[in-house]
Each structure stands twice: as structure tokens, then as C-alpha cells.
């Protein structure tokens, strides 16, 4: 195995491979900044260019682009509250409030550093786990996937904070939105009101772009100010401080990276789930949970660390036995077949050097893109001081393009505008937006795996050991906040009694 690892490194440092990787990085940097287009879509557009290419240069081009989009997607999330990727939505929650306080440099530095560490963590896990992951993943079935979806939904309790009832209402609203489309069991339209556009359900990209990006842009338009409410120049010089803060919270970075890798390993859950689980875990374990949603650097660190880690995690089942863990890895699976690779036994034996080359490419592309992002921070952070009247038309154009690029339908633009208006109402009346998004993301996943579990196992799936383990985690996730609140209340009462 060591020989294959060194042989793959020798092939990665070849001139052609490096040139392809740099081209992919340049494309990924632009794609990550533009809202809505997404790494998976760009991967699909780039597939034809890999015909007649050798495997390692081909993956240098594709992976070089793919891992960069996750990193640069955080830039617009932090600077303008517009997620560059659907999986960057959680970064908005604390990154954008920091920008509005004039701390964009600090937030960007922390996001880039934690994202880089997460990518390296995921690559190391990929290298170590490829030979042993097959037995583990084969133990997971629809009941376990349903349990993981429920586990993610329990973080509504944590993310809603003191407004638990509002959070539950918004989560239920999200679950109702997830029901729009064709019934997976009976095959009949639900809540489509005769509109063919709604038969495929409501896509997550226009929802995310509207609920977070659209709402913030409309708020900016109404406030008639710049993004950063402080008139002083943005603290781009504090990017190094933000990076050091990420390293100081190394335990949180590693835990969030592990969550990203673990969730990425499970096919079908997606990057949004990984981010919000990591974000909820960070809030649950933080000494200052009240800062989350108002500009917590821990929230930025936790959400950013999952970005590239979950991509490496999704590659593990794709390489091990041809089951893509995400939309992006599904496109990469097509690339395997195009260049003549067979996932499974062949990629773990005869083509092991190609497999390990993906590890080196992931690490190299992440380090290069992070250095490039730090180099362009100064001009980027100056954008947040441009008057809102000048900036809003361009941001609205990006929002519309991002929403339209989802399915090339004007209906997506209308969905984006509707959720943008809903997002403004949530901000104005102090209702949480994250539970709504979680309900939409997880509703379809939970419903699909629930019906599959019942169809395959009846009700006996409730006694499966792994599902029972997940159920214990759900109970702990629900009970820990209650226990902490009760403990704090006892302390306060004891202090009053002692006086």
C-alpha cells in the first residue's frame, strides 16, 4: 500500500496533471462564488472533456474543481449572505452577522482555515478507510438512513434556541413543503395545484438562495446602507486572526470534520445535513451558545470544516463499491466509467495508485485554493462597503441566475422570490429560518427511507441494533439541553438561597 501511495504521488506531480488541476481550481473558484450553479452541475458539464484522457489527469481536472467550490462557496455566504453553494447555507448564520459588524476578514480567515483542515482530515480518512469501509457501509440500510434523518431533525431543538415552539412550527412547515410533488408510494401528485412544474417537488437550491440570500439582499435594499454597517475599512488584516482562532478551536474543527466525513459516507443525506448537524453540535457543546446566529466564530468554524470533509466521505462508498454518496460523487462515478475504471475490487487492488491519487489531488487543490482565497481577500472585503443601491442590482442578478440554473425553469426564480419574502418576514418577526430549511432537506429523505423500511422489514426494523444506537443518540440530543437548563436553574436557585 505504501508503494501505491508513493507511486500515485509521483504521477500527481507530473506537468500535465498539475496543469489540469490548476485549470480545475480556476473553474471551481468562479463556480463557488457564483450562487446556485453548484459543483455537481459543473462536474457534469466538464465530463465530456475527460474523454480520451488518462485517469489521473482527468481526476485532477474534476476533483481540482469540485473540492474548490465547497471552499469558495463560503465567501459569498459570509460577505453577502448569499450561499455560493446549497451546502454553504449554515455558514450564513454567523458569517454574515460578523460581516455586518465589520469583521468579514476574521470570519473569512476562520472559514478558510477550518475548511482546509477539514479537507485534509477527509483525505486522510479516505486513504485509511478505503480498504476497510465496505463491511461497515453494507450494514446500513433504509432503517439506519431514516434514523440518521431523524437525528438531524432533532437538532431543530438546539438550533431554535429559546424559541422552541417557533422552531418546531417552522420545521413542520418545511416538512409540508417537502411533501410537494409525486407521492413515492402511490405515484400521484401531492399539493401541486395542477402545476406540472411542482410534480418534481421544490428544488432546494432556489429555496436556499431565496431564504437566506434573497432575504438579506431585500433587507439591504430596504436599509439603504452597505452590507457592513460600520464605516471603518473591513478588517481584512484580521484574516490571520480568524485562521488562528480556527486552529485554537482545533477540537471543534476535528469533530466537525469527522461529522462531515461520517455524513458524507452515508449515501443520500447530502452536505446540508452535515453542515447543520455540525453546527448544532457546536452550539450544543459551546460555552457561549447565545452567540450562535448573532456572529459566533465557532458557528463559522463548525459549518466550514464539513465542506470538503463530506466530499471525501462521499468518495468512500463510491470507490469501495460504486454507491455514490452525493450528487457530485454520482457524476464522478460516471467519470470512473468513462476512463475505464471499475469501482470496487479493481480500484482497491489493480488501480490502487489511481485511488490514492485522489487523496493527493484533494489535499493539493485545497491548499492551493486556500492560498488563492487569502490572496484575494482584500478586494473581496472592500465589496461589503459599496452602497447598497449600487450593489443590490448585481446581487439580484446573481440570485436569479443561481435559482434559474437549478432546473433552467422560470418557476425556480418565482420560488426564490417567494422564499426571499418569507425570509424577510422571518427576520422581521424573529422567526428561525434554519428549522424550515432542515424540514425541507430532510423531509423527502425521511419519508423515502421510512416507507422503504416498512416495505422491507415491517415493524421489525425498530429493533435493529444500529437503529437503536441512533435512537439513543436522538434521546441524548433532546435530553442534554433540557438537563443543562435544569442544572443552570438549580445553580441559580442555590445562589439565591445562599444570599
What's the whole-number mean pLDDT along residues 205-217? 74
Which is more confident, 177 or 346? 177
pLDDT at residue 457 tops 60: yes
Choose the weakest-confidence range: 20-29, 77-86, 157-166. 157-166
Element (H, E) at 367: helix 352-375
Cell numbers for 217: 439582499
- The pTM of this model reads 0.65
pLDDT at residue 234 tops 60: no
Q: Report in angstroms the alpha-carbon separations of 457 from 51, 206, 411, 468.
A: 43, 36, 39, 15
pLDDT, position 288: 80
What's the whole-number mean pLDDT along residues 300-316? 80
DSSP structural state of residue 286: -
pLDDT, position 438: 73
Query: Which residues make Cβ contacts (< 8 Å) with residue 104, sequence separation at least 6?
Result: 78, 79, 98, 228, 234, 235, 236, 381, 384
Segment 131-148, tens digit of pLDDT = 676 566 567 778 887 887
In this prediction, what percent of the chain has a pLDDT beyond 70? 76
d(CA 78, CA 83): 8
What's the whole-number mean pLDDT along residues 401-416? 78
What's the whole-number mean pLDDT along residues 22-46? 71
Q: Report in angstroms the alpha-carbon separations of 180 from 173, 197, 288.
A: 11, 11, 38
What's the whole-number mean pLDDT along residues 23-43? 71
pLDDT at residue 235 tops 60: no
pLDDT at residue 426 tops 60: yes
Amino acid at each position: 500500500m505504501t508503494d501505491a501511495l508513493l507511486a500515485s504521488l509521483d504521477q500527481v506531480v507530473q506537468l500535465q496533471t498539475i496543469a489540469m488541476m490548476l485549470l480545475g481550481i480556476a473553474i471551481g473558484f468562479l463556480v463557488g462564488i457564483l450562487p446556485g450553479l453548484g459543483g455537481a452541475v459543473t462536474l457534469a458539464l466538464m465530463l465530456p472533456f475527460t474523454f480520451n484522457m488518462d485517469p489521473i489527469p482527468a481526476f485532477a481536472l474534476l476533483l481540482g474543481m469540485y473540492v474548490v467550490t465547497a471552499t469558495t462557496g463560503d465567501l459569498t455566504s459570509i460577505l453577502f449572505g448569499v450561499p455560493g453553494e446549497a451546502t454553504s447555507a449554515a455558514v450564513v448564520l454567523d458569517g454574515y452577522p460578523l460581516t455586518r459588524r465589520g469583521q468579514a476578514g476574521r470570519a473569512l480567515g476562520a472559514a478558510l482555515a477550518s475548511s482546509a483542515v477539514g479537507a485534509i482530515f477527509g483525505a486522510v480518512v479516505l486513504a485509511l478507510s478505503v480498504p476497510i469501509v465496505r463491511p461497515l457501509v453494507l450494514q446500513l440500510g433504509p432503517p439506519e438512513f431514516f434514523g440518521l434523518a431523524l437525528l438531524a431533525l432533532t437538532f431543530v431543538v438546539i438550533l431554535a434556541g429559546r424559541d422552541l415552539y417557533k422552531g418546531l412550527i417552522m420545521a413542520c412547515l418545511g416538512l409540508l413543503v417537502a411533501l410537494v410533488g409525486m407521492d413515492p408510494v402511490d405515484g400521484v401528485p401531492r399539493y401541486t395545484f395542477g402545476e406540472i412544474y411542482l410534480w418534481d417537488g421544490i428544488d432546494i437550491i432556489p429555496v436556499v438562495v431565496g431564504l437566506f440570500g434573497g432575504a438579506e439582499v431585500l433587507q439591504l435594499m430596504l436599509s439603504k446602507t452597505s452590507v457592513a454597517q460600520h464605516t471603518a475599512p473591513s478588517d481584512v488584516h484580521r484574516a490571520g486572526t480568524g485562521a488562528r482562532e480556527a486552529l485554537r478551536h482545533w477540537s471543534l474543527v476535528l469533530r466537525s470534520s469527522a461529522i462531515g466525513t461520517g455524513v458524507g459516507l452515508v449515501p443520500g443525506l447530502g452536505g446540508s445535513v452535515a453542515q447543520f448537524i455540525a453546527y448544532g453540535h457546536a452550539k450544543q457543546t459551546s460555552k457561549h451558545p447565545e452567540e450562535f446566529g448573532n456572529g459566533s466564530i465557532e458557528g463559522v468554524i463548525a459549518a466550514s470544516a464539513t465542506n470538503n470533509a463530506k466530499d471525501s466521505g462521499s468518495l468512500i462508498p463510491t470507490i469501495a463499491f460504486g454507491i455514490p454518496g452525493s450528487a457530485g460523487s454520482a457524476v464522478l462515478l460516471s467519470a470512473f466509467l468513462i476512463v475505464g475504471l471499475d469501482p470496487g475490487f479493481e480500484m482497491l487492488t489493480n488501480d490502487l495508485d489511481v485511488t490514492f491519487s485522489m487523496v493527493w489531488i484533494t489535499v493539493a487543490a485545497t491548499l492551493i485554493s486556500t492560498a488563492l482565497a487569502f490572496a484575494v481577500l482584500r478586494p473581496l472585503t472592500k465589496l461589503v462597503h459599496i452602497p447598497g443601491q449600487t450593489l443590490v442590482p448585481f446581487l439580484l442578478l446573481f440570485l436569479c441566475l443561481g435559482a434559474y440554473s437549478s432546473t433552467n425553469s422560470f418557476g425556480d426564480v418565482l420560488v426564490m422570490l417567494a422564499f426571499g419574502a418569507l425570509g424577510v418576514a422571518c427576520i422581521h418577526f424573529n422567526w428561525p429560518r434554519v428549522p424550515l430549511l432542515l424540514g425541507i432537506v430532510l423531509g423527502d429523505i425521511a419519508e423515502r427511507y421510512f416507507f422503504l423500511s416498512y416495505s422491507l422489514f415491517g415493524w421489525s426494523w425498530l429493533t435493529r441494533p444500529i437503529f437503536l444506537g441512533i435512537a439513543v443518540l436522538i434521546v441524548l440530543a433532546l435530553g442534554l439541553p433540557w438537563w443543562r437548563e435544569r442544572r443552570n436553574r438549580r445553580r441559580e436557585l442555590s445562589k439565591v438561597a445562599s444570599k
